[in-house]
Amino acid sequence: MDRLSALLLTLIASGSLPVSYSACIPAMGMTCMLENLNMLTDGLTTLRQIEPKVFYNIQVRMLRVPNNPAGAFLIRAAEFVNNVEIFVYREQEFQILAGTNLNVVNVLEAKSLKQIVIAEGDITIKELYVYSCMLDRIPPTIGNLPLLTDLTFYRCTMRNLSFNALRKNLRLKTLDLSYNEIDTIVPLTNADGEVSLAIENLYLGSNRLENLDMTAFERLSNLTMLDLQYNNLMKIAAERTVSWPAMEMLDVSYNQLSTIDLQWLSAPNLKRLLMSNNLLDKIPQRLRRFPNLQLIGLSYNKMAAIDLAPLNGLPTLSSIDVSSNPAARFIRSSRPVRLPMLDTLYAENCALNRFNTSGIDLPVIGYISLANNNFSTIPPLGQSFPAIVSFSLYNNPLPCALLKARAELILSGKLILGPPQDASECPDGSTTIAPSFLLCCKA
Ligand SMILES: *[C@@H]1O[C@H](CO)[C@@H](O)[C@H](O)[C@H]1NC(C)=O
Ligand SMILES: *[C@@H]1O[C@H](CO)[C@@H](O)[C@H](O)[C@H]1NC(C)=O
Ligand SMILES: *[C@@H]1O[C@H](CO)[C@@H](O)[C@H](O)[C@H]1NC(C)=O
Ligand SMILES: *[C@@H]1O[C@H](CO)[C@@H](O)[C@H](O)[C@H]1NC(C)=O
């Protein structure tokens, strides 16, 4: 028979509602909503009466089952649906038995769950998601899900991640262990020779990593995205070269990094390097190792000056963000720098008062934002960068006389100073550059 896409369950144990035949209440997303479903009485009959051509999901507000709503229950559910989503799961153990013919199991809140036990043999589950649980490690039996492509344990209590637990999940592409307590990564050991894992997307954000030897990840040879946001990383280093030929995005934002040296990393395809919200005092060196970089994020760091020199030799870099470095007073380049594809530069919310464009060659730059800085002159961006369409000096202490003199630049849309204002919003003075076009400025 045709199976429905999902059985969405809210398991609220106990209570004693009268047992009655519950017909579908149609809901959003072609959902059949059932107020209650009692698998001890007429539950199966009710499920069998739901027409798969009319409804796509079944949502059950209250489900009654003889015992733990995993194990045998999942096999039963698989007669009717491909995906099971359990809103609240109250047991300590979750069993998946041989013959469980489901694609997706999604458990949204499992505050007591300590153990997942997966039997050997013929389980078709491809995606397993568990949110809010008490698991302290990847279940040792996870290898009994050979078709698994996506695995999530989000907001659980894992302390370490051992890749050995996943050595039989050779199709696993996405692993999300965000919001755990992981402080240790145990690399794959050599027991089976040179096994590589297929993981492409690895989310380890919001954990407790401090000092990470990146060789722990080296057998993840297909890694495309590594998310290490919101840890306590002071250092990311490796004792030998780690090669990630497919790596496109490395995110180390929201850590405690005061330097980043990526010389251990061979990632010729890296496109996005995100390092915002750290303690960096300059743009990292040796970025030329990554000739396909398109985006560099460096906002919310501790740069006192923004020296663009380390960016030289990045032929495809199209956007860079150095905003919110509150101590940064100027942008310059200590050596000639040419960025043939740079299209946008964000340097907002700093204390910039100078942009020395000499030696900086940005042939296609279209937009530069210097909003919320400390410029009292208009840097010569139009002359230095012929392709520029516009640049913003919104909320800088520009003198009123200067704005009046450069009214044309503003009215043409090239110099952006924000929408017309009202004199009452301007604590330091204002000027009218055209009929009913008043701007704040420094009198
Ligand atoms: C990983 O965590 C498990 C469970 O907390 C523990 O038994 C094991 O010793 C840990 N391994 C390492 C290397 O820390
Ligand atoms: C990595 O990806 C390639 C290409 O998709 C694939 O052939 C290979 O089997 C993958 N490696 C692993 C370890 O799964
Ligand atoms: C802005 O520049 C003025 C001098 O032009 C200086 O006195 C002031 O401290 C600067 N403000 C910041 C936040 O750096
Ligand atoms: C601008 O930078 C160049 C090259 O670094 C330097 O020679 C020059 O003195 C700087 N100009 C100003 C006004 O600081």
Q: What separation in Å is there between the alpha carbon of 374 and the centre of ligand 3?
A: 6
As to burial, measured by CB atoms within 10 angstroms (0-12 exposed, 13-18 middle, 19+ buried), residue 364 is: middle
Q: pLDDT tens digit string along 347-365? A: 999 999 999 999 999 999 9
Which of 113, 116, 105 lies closest to 7, judged by CA?
105
Cα separations in angstroms, 208 against 24, 185, 261, 280: 46, 11, 21, 20
Distance CA 31, CA 47 (A): 13
Please report where in the chains the tokens 């849309």 appear, as a residue.
413
Cα separations in angstroms, 115 against 131, 133, 264, 423: 13, 9, 38, 65
Q: Which atom of ligand 4 is nearest to the CA of 334?
A: 5
Pocket of ligand 4, beta carbon within 6 A: 332, 356, 358-359
The pTM score is: 0.89
Percentage of the chain beyond pLDDT 90 is 72
- pLDDT, mean of residues 387-398: 96
Q: What separation in Å is there between the alpha carbon of 160 and the centre of ligand 1?
A: 6
> Buried b / exposed e across 287-308, counting CB within 10 Å, b at 16+?
bebbeebbbbbbbbbebebbbb
Confidence band (pLDDT; 50, 70, 90) for 6?
Answer: low
50 against 191, higher pLDDT: 50
Q: Which atom of ligand 1 is nearest to the CA of 137?
A: 4
Confidence band (pLDDT; 50, 70, 90) for 14?
Answer: very low
pLDDT, residue 83, reads 87
For the cut 60, the answer to whether the pLDDT of residue 370 exceeds it is yes
Q: Which atom of ligand 3 is nearest to the CA of 326?
A: 13
For the cut 80, the answer to whether the pLDDT of residue 418 exceeds it is yes
Give all strands of the β-sheet with 306-307 in edge-to-edge order.
306-307, 330-332, 354-355
Q: What separation in Å is there between the alpha carbon of 171 and the centre of ligand 2?
A: 9
pLDDT, residue 21, reads 40
For the cut 80, the answer to whether the pLDDT of residue 212 exceeds it is yes
Confidence band (pLDDT; 50, 70, 90) for 442?
Answer: very high
- pLDDT, mean of residues 31-47: 82
* Per-residue H/E/C for the chain: CCCEEEEEECCCCCCCCCCCCCCCEEECCCEEEEEEEECCCCHHHHHHCCCCCCCCEEEEEEEECCCCCCCHHHHHHCCCEEEEEECCCCCCEEEECCCCCCCEEEECCCCCCCEEEECCCCCCCCEEEEECCCCCCCCHHHHHCCCCCEEEEECCCCCEEEHHHHCCCCCCCEEECCCCCCCEEECCCHHHCCCCCCCCEEECCCCCCCEEEHHHHCCCCCCCEEECCCCCCCEEECCCCEECCCCCEEECCCCCCCCCCCCCEECCCCCEEECCCCCCCCCCCCHHHCCCCCEEECCCCCCCCEECHHHCCCCCCCEEECCCCCCCCEEECCCCEECCCCCEEECCCCCCCEECCCCEECCCCCEEECCCCCCCCCCCHHHHCCCCCEEECCCCCCEHHHHHHCHHHHHCCCEECCCCCCHHHCCCCEEEEECCEEEECEC
Cα separations in angstroms, 318 against 15, 311, 326, 367: 60, 11, 24, 11
Pocket of ligand 2, beta carbon within 6 A: 196, 198, 221-222
- pLDDT, mean of residues 91-111: 93
189 ligand 1 Cβ < 6 A: no
Query: Is domain 1-208 given the CATH code 3.80.10 in the classification?
Result: yes
- pLDDT, mean of residues 181-194: 84
63 pairs with which residues across the strands? Answer: 37
Our mutation pick for probing the ligand 2 site, out of 222, 223, 243, 269, counting the most ligand atoms within 8 A of Cβ, is: 222
Torsion sign, CA atoms 374, 377, 382, 385 = negative
Least confident of 2-11, 34-43, 165-174, 383-392: 2-11
Q: Which atom of ligand 1 is nearest to the CA of 186?
A: 13
Q: pLDDT tens digit string along 304-333? A: 999 999 999 899 999 999 999 999 999 999
Distance CA 62, CA 148 (A): 29
For the cut 60, the answer to whether the pLDDT of residue 341 exceeds it is yes
Q: Which atom of ligand 3 is nearest to the CA of 374?
A: 1
For the cut 70, the answer to whether the pLDDT of residue 19 exceeds it is no
Q: What separation in Å is there between the alpha carbon of 416 and the centre of ligand 4?
A: 26
For the cut 50, the answer to whether the pLDDT of residue 72 exceeds it is yes
Q: Which of 10-19, 181-190, 356-365 shows the highest mean pLDDT?
A: 356-365
pLDDT, residue 59, reads 83
Q: What separation in Å is there between the alpha carbon of 181 and the centre of ligand 4?
A: 49
